[in-house]
Amino acid sequence: MPLHAMFVTVPINRAHRLGSGFTMIELLVTVAVASITLALAVPAFTQMTVNSRLTTQANEVVAALNLARSEAIKRNVRVSFCRVESEQAVDCELATGRWTHWIVTTGDGGNVIRRGVVNTFSGGISMRSTLTEDQVTFRPEGLAYSGDALVADERITVCAPRNGSGRHVTLGRGSRLSTESIDEDCAA
């Protein structure tokens, strides 16, 4: 037998392996890694979704309050941001309660400037306020009043009770608006 024939090997295992696919161990390792990755990613994605919804709702409130203030100055009339019971309502509810809809209105004969809906995402988000009768009125000079008193640190809270997080939209002195995240139990 020639010497070179002794060193030639036929890759029988390699040829057989190419046609057989993955081994059971490779498949189990892949499934385990995918499961661990999903177990870590899903809660983070859920929290990110809730935070996005809270921020969106809080930003809509801030935009509506800014619109009410600018319209009061521009039109030289009182303009209110308030809670209403339905999408078609033209008058403020004038009582505290569950926020489902809101309007920006001049209040004179149902002149609604803008309407909005509080998207609760199937009860995952709620909104409440410390405003007198859930209403803030901007006078022509641009200052906010709740009832007959000048606003001083009144809050509209957008809350995700299931997650214990939310956003405070605060109307401060001089009608200054600020928004802050809260990580406390806001279900109460």
pTM: 0.78
For residue 155, tell me if it sits in a domain.
yes
Encode pLDDT of 7-27 as tens digits.
555 555 555 555 567 888 989
Tokens 């509080």 -> residue: 118
pLDDT band at 48 (very low <50, low <70, confident <90, very high): confident
Q: Tell me the C-alpha distance between 91 and 46, whole Å.
A: 37
| Higher per-residue confidence, 16 vs 30 | 30
State the Rg of the chain over Cα.
Answer: 30
Domains of the chain: total: 1
For residue 11, tell me if it sits in a domain.
no
- Mean pLDDT calculated for residue range 84-91: 91
For residue 167, tell me if it sits in a domain.
yes
For residue 61, tell me if it sits in a domain.
yes
Q: What is the CATH number of the domain that holds 39?
A: 3.55.40
For residue 157, tell me if it sits in a domain.
yes
Residues with Cβ within 8 Å of 86's Cβ and at least 6 positions away in sequence, in order, are: 100, 101
For residue 114, tell me if it sits in a domain.
no
| Domain housing 56 | 32-76+123-183
For residue 40, tell me if it sits in a domain.
yes
- Mean pLDDT calculated for residue range 178-182: 92
For residue 161, tell me if it sits in a domain.
yes
Encode pLDDT of 126-162 as tens digits.
999 999 999 999 999 999 999 889 998 999 999 988 7
- Mean pLDDT calculated for residue range 116-132: 89
pLDDT band at 177 (very low <50, low <70, confident <90, very high): very high
Indicate if the pLDDT at residue 184 is higher than 60: yes
Buried b (16+ CB within 10 A) or exposed e, 114-124: ebbebeeeeeb
- Mean pLDDT calculated for residue range 44-72: 92
